[in-house]
Copies of this chain bind each other. A is one copy, B any other.
Amino acid sequence: MIDPVYLDTPMYRCDALGRRLGCTVSVKLETANPVRSFKGRGTELVTGLLTRQGRTAVVCASAGNLGQALAWSGRRRGLDVTVVASVRAPAAKLDRIRALGAELELVDGDFEMARERAVRIAYERGIRLLEDSLDVETCEGAATIGLELADVGSAFDAVLIALGGGALATGVGHVLKTLVPAAEVICVQPAGAPALTRSWHERRVVTTETTDTIADGVAGRFPIPEVLGDLLEVADDAVLVRESSIIAGMRLLLENTGLVVEPSAALGVAAVLEDRDRFAGRHVVTVVCGGNVDLDAYHRWVRS
């Protein structure tokens, strides 16, 4: 059901990056597609199912990437797509959601407020609410990345996964724990948006009052209990990284692999930078999950 443009994405060793990090590094590249993130895998599943059910509209809250992907998949299938996002989301993400023909509603608050508003719209209009990480299609979409990693067969020791709502981590993690159980599944979140990581460590939902990170794609405050339950089953670890490490990670990816990535996609490299001993000599895969970034901000970060 997933358009092939989102599948069988490149995975390759980056020797130069590995030398800088003291380990073998492979990237699984999820940015070389029409929406520049892995989210199309899940929205293809959701919209395919909606079409089969004869539904004509769908709404989601989004930090920016899910909204683009849902707009892309919905346009392809003639669905009315509404996306609710924060006014503070990167302009690049908001512009592309609009350009894909979705109705974009902005809330003067953070992602959690966008979630509330999306619930209300779904209720008022009687349309399907797509909830990232909670709705199984979003996890199943991400899980296809896990299938592709398992298929490669090249031995890797650990997979570093950006942790936001949790769909990517639970989807990929579930597959890996089944097919490649020896590989460590390590979730990485910014220290400035630590709710789900703290929840994982405390084995109960922990919320935060605010978030403070440039990694806009993973800045949630209210972990979803069901997602935490799944994450406790499939993640081997969840770590927090500093903003300076995220920026250093973006810079290393640019200088050593030529990839322009959004902050969330540099979390894996940031995790290696903060704990080199843990990864020394091992083969790590980092999922480069998104490349939607405002270029002005990007240049400020990587050149500073």
A14 interfacial by beta-carbon distance below 8 Å: yes
9 tightest A-B CB contacts, nearest first = A10-B32, A258-B291, A5-B12, A258-B260, A12-B34, A29-B32, A12-B33, A32-B32, A13-B34
Is B32 within 8 A of A15, CB to CB?
A: no
Cβ-defined contact, A36 with B258, below 8 A: yes
- Are A258 and B10 touching (Cβ within 8 A)? no
Q: Is A16 an interface residue (CB 8 A)?
A: yes
Q: Which residues of chain B are near A13, meaning CB under 8 Å? A: 34
A14 and chain B: residue at smallest CB distance: B34
Task: Please determine whether B34 and A15 come into contact, CB atoms closer than 8 angstroms.
Answer: yes
CB contacts (< 8 Å) of A260 on chain B: these are 254, 258-260
Residues of B within 8 A of A34 (CB): 12-15
Q: State the CA gap A13–B258 with chains docked (Å).
A: 21
Q: Point out the residues of chain B lying under 8 angstroms from A291, CB to CB.
A: 258
| Cα A209 to Cα B12 with chains together (Å) | 40
Greatest chain B CB density within 10 A among A31, A34, A258 is at A258
Q: Which residue of B lies closest to A255 (CB)?
A: B295
Contacts of A31 in B (CB 8 A): 258
Contacts of A14 in B (CB 8 A): 34
Which residues from 11 to 49 on chain A have a C-beta closer than 8 Å to any C-beta of chain B?
Answer: 11-16, 19, 29, 31-34, 36
Nearest B-chain residue to A259, judged by Cβ: B260
| A103: interface (CB < 8 Å) | no
| 21 A-B residue pairs with CB within 8 Å | A5-B12, A8-B8, A10-B10, A10-B33, A12-B34, A13-B34, A14-B34, A15-B99, A15-B100, A16-B96, A19-B99, A31-B258, A36-B258, A254-B260, A254-B295, A255-B295, A258-B260, A258-B291, A258-B292, A258-B293, A259-B260
Tell me the smallest distance from the CB of A258 to a CB of chain B, in Å. 5
Interface string of A228-246 (1 = CB under 8 A from B): 0000000000000000000
